[in-house]
Amino acid sequence: MATIRLDLDTLKNQRDFIQTIQSHYPSSESSSSAVVSTLAALLQIETESQAQLTAGASSPALKFLPSRLSVLASGTHPPDAPAQEFVSRLTHAAHGAAESLTCGSIVAGHTSESDEHADVGVWLGEGDYGRGKEREVLRALGLDGWSVKQIENIELRPPLGLPSSINIATQTNAQGPEMDAFIAAFEQLEERYCFFAFGGPGSGGLIACLLLGKFKATGGHSMAGNVGWCGLVGISVAADD
């Protein structure tokens, strides 16, 4: 499945876009709707940040791979099948884990006042996207407006290594197949880290939440197209000052 250029105009007819997602990715209508909410929130801040665009300039857009519920770095091609399958599995597991912890996003955790935003997969590919390169990550995804916002690094807290945005008591007691599946996938990533980008005053309290690490395919697969930075992006909603 090819990528599509996803802008706010594409999302105006939410029902049509939900059907597009469901035709390529098995998910409930509520889960698909929550994914659309995350994509729309990312684009909302980006569009507002670039409101001074000159006439004729293209509107902000994300590079989206519907079959994997993933956004891609603007200068990359979709990765090979093993990497695609991993990002898809990570995203699907994140949805199940978040639901088991009664929150919308495993990355935003319990910091959000809304459970209406689900995690979306991210594929950045090879490059310098480790800790300390948060703004470069956002720009690579086409989120230049977010890249100039306040950035905060989020601790990955033991014993499970989940973001500290998840209540620690919940982390300690988290058990069950949904969380096990997410941890199993998440632990395949190396150099894991998490950060939040704050939308700022007037944003409706939107915060972009990213959980990233470096993926390397195993089992004899060619490294080309199967090595790169990837993870999840979610949205937290805080009180808007």
- pTM score of the predicted model: 0.90
Residues of the chain with pLDDT > 90: what percent? 47
Distance CA 218, CA 31 (A): 30
What would the pLDDT profile of 62-120 be if each residue is shown by its tens digit? 999 988 899 999 888 888 889 999 999 999 999 999 998 889 999 999 988 888 899 99
> Taking 60 as the threshold, does the pLDDT of residue 224 lie above it?
no
Q: What is the DSSP letter of 157?
A: E
Type of residue numbered 51: A
Average pLDDT over residues 4-20: 83
Distance CA 213, CA 172 (A): 22
Question: At a CB cut-off of 8 Å and minimum separation 6, what does 52 contact?
Answer: none
Bond from prior residue into 201 cis (ω within 30 degrees of 0) = no
What would the pLDDT profile of 121-172 be if each residue is shown by its tens digit? 999 999 999 999 999 999 999 998 898 899 999 999 887 888 999 886 666 6
**Of 110, 157, 115, 150, whose CA–CA distance to 134 is shortest?**
150
